[in-house]
Structure 1
C-alpha cells in the first residue's frame, strides 16, 4: 500500500460525515474489473462494520478497541470481507474509478438490511507519481433510509419516465392480463436491446412457476425453453437474491462466479448461449412472487436499463400479485384441498360445459366412478385422520394413472373421471391398472364402474351407467367381505 497516498485519502475520507470509503479498483489482464479493496475507510463506515464483526461475540473490548480492530481488518481487504459479491456494485466502482463517471443509485435493500440504500460513487484523482497503472480509485458514500424517498426515486430521465408511463398504461388497458404482459415484455426487450425477455410468476409453497409472457428476437418460445427447466433450478434464484435486489451477469467472470453458487442454473445458461442477463425479483410482503428475466441485453445500456427495471418492477409486482391472488381464489373454488383433484363444484360446471360441447361437436369419451370400500371401518377403528390419509392416497393413485384426464372428488370417498383423450382400449388399460393397485381390502380397495361412449350419447347418461356399474361392483365386494359392510 502506498502510505503517502493512503494518508492523504484517509484524511479526505474522514472529512465526510456520512459512511464513506475509498475503494481501489484493479483492472484484470483483459482490462475488465478485477479486485476491489477497501483502501481507506472513515469513522462512520468503521462504526457500521463494528456491529457486523462483533454481532456474535461477547466481548469486553471497549468501543475504541473494536474500532481499531475493525479498521485493521477492513482496510486493504477485498470488499467481500463484509458483504456478498455484487456485480452491480463492481460495475459502478469500475465506471467511477476508471471511466471517471459520478454515479448515484437508490436501491431497495430492505430485504437484506431493513433499509433503502442511497449510494454515491465519485471518481478520485491521484497524481502521476502516486499512480499504479493497473489501479484506480473511487469514493463510495452511502446512506440508509427506513422508507423510500419518492422524490429521489422518481427523479428519472425523461425517456425512462416515458417508458414507464407507456408500460403502466398498457397494464391498465382493457386487454386481458396475459396480453398486456406480453406487450410490456416486448417493450422491455426492445428497450434493453435484449435477445429475450420474460415475466414469470413464482410460488415456492406450491413448488410452481409459470412463464407468463416471453419475447425473443427470433420468436423462439421462452415457455418451451423453460418447460425443460425443473422447479429446483428456478428455486435456486431465491438463495442467490438473499443479499441483493437483482442479479446482473455481464461477462464470463460473472458467469463463473454464479456457477459456484448455482451450477445447475448456469449450465442451462451456457446450453442456451446466454452470456449476460438481468434477473429482477417481484416482491410482495418481503417474499418473491415472480421474476423479470432478460437475456443477452445491450451491455452499453446496463445503467439506464437497471434504473428502468428497478422502477418498473414495482408496477409489475402489483400486477403479478393480483394475478396470483385471483389464481388462488379460482384454485380454492375448484380444487379439493385434501386430495388436490377437482371438487364437486368444478365437476358440475365441467359436466355442463362438456355436455354442450358434445352436443354440438360429438366425440368419443369415457367416464368412471371409483368409491373406496370399507372407509367407514377405517374411520371407526383408526380415526378420521387415518381415513383422510386413505382418501389422499387413493387420489394420488388416480392422478398417477389418469394423468391427462379430469379427476374429481365427487363426494366423501367417491371419485369420478371424465376422459376425452383416451381411446376405449387405452381407458380400459387404465381401469385394469387401477384395479391391480387398489384391490387389497386390508389397505385400499376401490369399487369401480366405467362406461365408454363412441360419441352418440349424452354425458349425463354415460355417467349414470358408470355409477350403476360402480354400485354393482361395490355390492359384490361386500358380498365377499360382509364384515366390512358399512
Structure 2
C-alpha cells in the first residue's frame, strides 16, 4: 500500500500507524510507518531529529497506554475515533483523529493518525462530540451551574456518572498536597455490591494517591478494562494494585481533576461496563473538565468565605460575623441566646512589649482553643484585639456557671492565659445582655489588676 500517496492529500500533520495484532485479541508493537511533510517538519522542530519511517511510535510521540489503546481500537473496530486531550505535562492540548485503513497483512493493522497541538484549549474542538456525550455534558453543566447546594448536586452528578459507566462505585476524591490529606467530595455505590465506602480508607490514603501521577505518566487517565491491563497496573504500582485486588476491583477508570494547572483530586469508577469503554472515556474526558472547573470555583468561594468569616490568627469567627449575628437577632431573624459571655485577656499588652507579638499571638490562640474546647457547639467570636465573645443557647444557669469555672481552671493550667470574664444569663434583649456581660467582665478585670498591679498597663 502506498502510504506516502495517501498522506500527500493531508495538509495537517498526519502519519500512518501500524499495530501488531495477536490472536488472543491483544496487541504488540506500534510503529509510525510513514508521515507527511507536516509531520516530518514537526519532528524536526520539536523532536530535533529527522523522521525515520517504520520507527517505534515512542520515537515520535510520548509513550502513552491510552494512545496505544486508541490506535488498537480504531483498527479493531474499523471505525474512526476522535479525542481532544489535555497534555498537562507539556502544557498543551492535542486534537487527534484516527481513521482505519485496509491492511494486506494478516497480523498488522493500519490507521491514519492526524493531529494538531495548541497551547490553549479550543472550545470548538471540545464540542465536537457525539450527540449523547454532548447532551450528557450539557445536563451536567446545567445541574452544577443552577444549584444552591453544591455538595448535594455533586452527589447527584457522581450518581449519574456511576450509572452511565455501569459501575459498582464512583468517587470524587480531593487531595491536599500541603497537608498530605485526602477528602471525599462525593461518592456513590451500587446497592447490591459489597464494595466498602471510601470513608473506610480515606485516612492515610494520600500515600496511595500521591503515586498516581507517576502511574499516569502523562496520560489523561488510567483505564483498566481487563486482567491484562490490571497486570500492567500491578507492575507499575504494586501497592495500589494489591489494594484494588483486596477491594474486589476488576476494572477501573481514573481521571485526574485539574484546573488552571493545579491538581485538585481524582474521579474514578470501578467495575464499569467495559463494552462502553470508548463512550465512557469520551464522556468522562469532557465531564471531568467541567467538574474540575466547578470544584475549583467552589473551593475558591469556600476559601474566600472562610477568609471573610474566620479570624485568621485564632480560628474563631471574626467581628464581622459577630455583628451580623447580633443584627439578625435584633431584627428577629435569629433567636436570642440564653447567655452571653465576654472573656478578655489580661496582661497581653505587657507580654507583647516584653516578649514580642509572637508570644502574644500564641496566647491569643491558646485562649481561643480553651473557649472552643469548653463551648464546642457554640459560636466563639473574636470581638476585638484581646476580647472574645460567646453566644450560648440551650443551657441552664448552673451549667453556664460550671463551664465558666472550667474556663478559669484551664486558663490557670495554661502557660500565660489570664482571663477576665463577664456573663449575662436569661436577658432576652441581646444588646442589653452584651452590655451587662461587658460590665461584669471589666469588674472582673479590675479585681485582677488589684491583685496584680505589676501587669496593669495593657
Fold shared by both chains (TM-score > 0.5): yes
Distance 1:49 1:480, change over 3 A: farther
Distance 1:91 1:476, change over 3 A: farther
Per-residue deviation, residues 170-216 of structure 1 (Å, max 9, x unmatched): 44547644454444433333222222334566665687766454433
State the aligned residue count.
447
Per-residue deviation, residues 410-448 of structure 1 (Å, max 9, x unmatched): 22123344567999499579647733652x3xxx32316
Asked if 1 retains the 8 angstrom alpha-carbon contact of 2:182 and 2:202, the reply is: no
Could you tell me which residue of structure 2 aligns to residue 377 of structure 1? 350
1:5-404 matches, cutoff 5 A: 18=13, 20=15, 22-25=17-20, 31=24, 33=26, 35-38=28-31, 40=33, 42=35, 66-67=49-50, 75-76=55-56, 79=58, 83=62, 86-109=64-87, 111-123=88-100, 126-127=103-104, 140-173=113-146, 176-199=149-172, 211-218=184-191, 225-226=198-199, 228-230=201-203, 232=206, 236=210, 239=213, 243-252=218-227, 254-255=229-230, 269-270=244-245, 272-289=247-264, 291-350=266-325, 369-384=342-357, 386-392=359-365, 394-395=367-368
Q: Secondary structure at the match of 1:106?
A: strand
Distance, in Å, in 2 between the alignment partners of 1:336 and 1:321 is 23
Distance, in Å, in 1 between the alignment partners of 2:6 and 2:370 is 68
1:424-463 matches, cutoff 5 A: 424=399, 427=403, 431=407, 434-435=410-411, 437-438=413-414, 440=415, 444-447=416-419, 449=421, 460=430
Normalised by the size of structure 1, how large is the TM-score?
0.69
Asked if 1 retains the 8 angstrom alpha-carbon contact of 2:65 and 2:219, the reply is: no
Distance 1:388 1:445, change over 3 A: closer
Distance, in Å, in 1 between the alignment partners of 2:163 and 2:71 is 27
Distance, in Å, in 1 between the alignment partners of 2:19 and 2:395 is 68
Distance 1:400 1:254, change over 3 A: farther
Q: 1:483 pairs with 440, 454, 458, which one?
A: 454
Normalised by the size of structure 2, how large is the TM-score?
0.73
Could you tell me which residue of structure 2 aligns to residue 57 of structure 1? none
Asked if 2 retains the 8 angstrom alpha-carbon contact of 1:236 and 1:262, the reply is: no
Distance, in Å, in 2 between the alignment partners of 1:396 and 1:175 is 33
Asked if 2 retains the 8 angstrom alpha-carbon contact of 1:215 and 1:222, the reply is: no
List alignment gaps of at least 5 residues for structure 2: none
Could you tell me which residue of structure 2 aligns to residue 3 of structure 1? none
Distance, in Å, in 1 between the alignment partners of 2:429 and 2:233 is 55
Shift in Å, 1:474: 4.8
Q: Secondary structure at the match of 1:156?
A: coil
Q: Secondary structure at the match of 1:119?
A: strand
Q: Secondary structure at the match of 2:249?
A: coil
Asked if 1 retains the 8 angstrom alpha-carbon contact of 2:422 and 2:444, the reply is: no
Shift in Å, 1:282: 4.4
Distance, in Å, in 1 between the alignment partners of 2:422 and 2:199 is 37
List alignment gaps of at least 5 residues for structure 1: 1-7, 54-62
Distance 1:474 1:207, change over 3 A: farther
Per-residue deviation, residues 151-172 of structure 1 (Å, max 9, x unmatched): 4433322322333343344445
Asked if 2 retains the 8 angstrom alpha-carbon contact of 1:373 and 1:447, the reply is: yes
Distance, in Å, in 2 between the alignment partners of 1:390 and 1:113 is 48
Asked if 2 retains the 8 angstrom alpha-carbon contact of 1:19 and 1:45, the reply is: yes
